[in-house]
């Protein structure tokens, strides 16, 4: 999908230190409105740290950042209204039903009860979850939970959704379906910022950045990266970069 030229996330010289450890070392990049931006890197490369800073969950040490047009330091609450977030850790309430979870998150984003009900209905139909509406989250399969967590993260129609390793521990078919959902969201105009370990998923992104040891080692479209490194798959690109 052709991305617009307007930047929706701009990051300049983002630094995050934990004591003497530098988790993010002068990250600079932009994400364009409507694109699927892959944020790749090995474990501990600093992806989650960066995503938490952009979501307003963690303070940066220094750097200039704006998300959805709002400054990360001074307009934190406005940023939060315009983003959705799905964390690495599972984020729905185990002891509440599918519907109760949707109602709760919809409610704290300020949706009206009527609106919540219509959206829940539409969502259940789209996902084919009608039978699971009143089941406790702990009783539904992991793949369903992941899809639901994603749907809840975009329930309030945010401008950007941050996905932190959304497909961890999920089977290939569910992963494929999950990516269909991501495309659909992007098609509706939501910018997707996604981290992953799976290099086949990197191929689905409009552009990817690859982080190595807290720095961005490469940033381009998957095709350009493959050309640049003279390889046939993102997997090889990644290994070449990580070993360097």
Partner 1 sequence: MRTILFIIQKEFLQVFRNKSMLPIIFILPIVQLIILVNAATYEMKNIRVSVVDLDLSGTSRKLVSKFQGSPFYLLKNSSFSYKEAENKMKQGKIDMILQIPMGFEKKLLTESHANVQFVINAINGQSAGLTNAYSTMILLDYNREVLIENANPSMLGGLRSIQTDYSYWYNPKLNYKTYMVPGILVLLVTIIGLLLSGMNIVREMEIGTIEQINVTPINKIQFIAGKLIPFWIIGMFELAFGLSVGKLLFNIPMEGNLGLIFLSASVYLFVILSFGLLISTITHTQQQAMLVSFFFMVVFILMSGLFTSIESMPKWAQNLDRLNPVMYFIKIMRMVLLKGSGFADISPHFWSLVVYAGCSLSLAILRYRKVS
Nearest-approach distance from CB 91 to partner 1, in angstroms? 4
Fill in the DSSP letter of residue 138. Answer: G
- 4, 44, 61, 94: which one binds partner 1 (CB under 8 A): 94
Show the tokens assigned to 96: 């509440």
Residue number, 64 or 76, with CB nearest to partner 1: 76
Looking from the CA of 213 toward its CB, the CA atoms found within 13 Å total 4
Q: Does 144 bind partner 1 (CB under 8 A)?
A: no
Query: Residue 85 Cβ, how far from partner 1 at the closest point, in Å?
Result: 4
Binding string, residues 46-75; x marks residues near partner 1 by CB under 8 A:
---------xxxxx----------------
Q: Which is nearer to partner 1, 7 or 91 (CB)?
A: 91
234: CB partners within 8 A, 6+ apart: 199, 200, 202, 203, 208, 222, 225, 226
Work out whether the CA dihedral 122, 170, 49, 231 comes out positive or negative: negative
- Site residues for partner 1, 100-129, by CB under 8 A, read 100, 103-105, 107-110
Tokens (6 digits) for 136: 């406790």
81 touches partner 1 (CB under 8 A) = yes
């Amino acid at each position: 999908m052709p991305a617009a030229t307007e930047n929706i996330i701009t990051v300049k010289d983002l630094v995050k230190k934990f004591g003497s450890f530098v988790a993010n070392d002068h990250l600079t990049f932009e994400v364009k409105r409507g694109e699927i931006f892959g944020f790749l890197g090995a474990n501990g490369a600093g992806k989650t740290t960066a995503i938490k800073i952009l979501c307003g969950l963690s303070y940066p040490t220094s750097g200039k950042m704006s998300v959805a047009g709002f400054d990360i330091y001074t307009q934190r609450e406005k940023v939060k209204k315009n983003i959705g977030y799905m964390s690495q850790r599972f984020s729905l309430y185990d002891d509440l039903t599918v519907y109760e979870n949707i109602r709760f998150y919809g409610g704290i984003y300020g949706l009206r009860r009527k609106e919540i009900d219509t959206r829940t209905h539409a969502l259940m139909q789209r996902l084919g979850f009608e039978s699971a509406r009143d089941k406790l989250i702990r009783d539904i399969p992991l793949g369903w939970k992941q899809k639901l967590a994603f749907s809840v993260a975009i329930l309030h129609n945010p401008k950007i959704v941050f996905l932190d390793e959304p497909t961890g521990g999920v089977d290939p078919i569910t992963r494929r379906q999950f990516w269909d959902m991501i495309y659909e969201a992007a098609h509706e105009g939501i910018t997707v910022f996604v981290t992953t370990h799976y290099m086949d998923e990197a191929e689905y992104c409009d552009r990817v950045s690859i982080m190595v040891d807290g720095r961005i080692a490469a940033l381009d479209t998957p095709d350009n990266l493959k050309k640049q490194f003279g390889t046939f798959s993102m997997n090889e690109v990644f290994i070449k970069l990580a070993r360097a």
